[in-house]
Amino acid sequence: MAYWVYILASSRNGTLYVGVTNDVIRRAHEHREGLAEGFTRRHGVKALVYLEAHDTAVAAIQREKNIKHWPRSWKIDLIAKENPGWHDLFDEIVR
C-alpha cells in the first residue's frame, strides 16, 4: 500500500494545503467536489499540484509535518520543480 503526501492549490501561487492519505484519488475527489469540510472548501483549494508516494504511513506523516512547517516560498519551489505549469494532476492519477 502506498501513502501519499499531496499539495492542493486554489490557483498558481494561491492558497496552499498540504495533506496525507492512503487513497489519493478518493481524497483529491473529496477536495475537488467540496465534500471535505474545512479549510479547503472555505478557501476553494481544489487543484492537486504536487504528489509524492511513501512506503509507510509513518514516513508520509513525517514528510507532511515537515512540509507544513516549511516557509511558503519553499513549498512553492517544491511545486514549481515538479510541476512548473501548476497543472491539476487529478486527471493524470485517475487514468
Res. 92: pLDDT tops 90: yes
pLDDT in the model for residue 21 = 98
Confidence bin at 17 (pLDDT 50/70/90) = very high
Q: Mean pLDDT throughout 42-46? A: 95
pLDDT in the model for residue 36 = 84
Res. 39: pLDDT tops 80: yes
Length of the chain, please? 95
Q: What are phi and psi of 81, to 5 degrees?
A: -65, -45
Whole-model pTM: value is: 0.95
The alpha carbon of 35 is separated from its chain's Cα centroid by a whole number of angstroms, namely 16
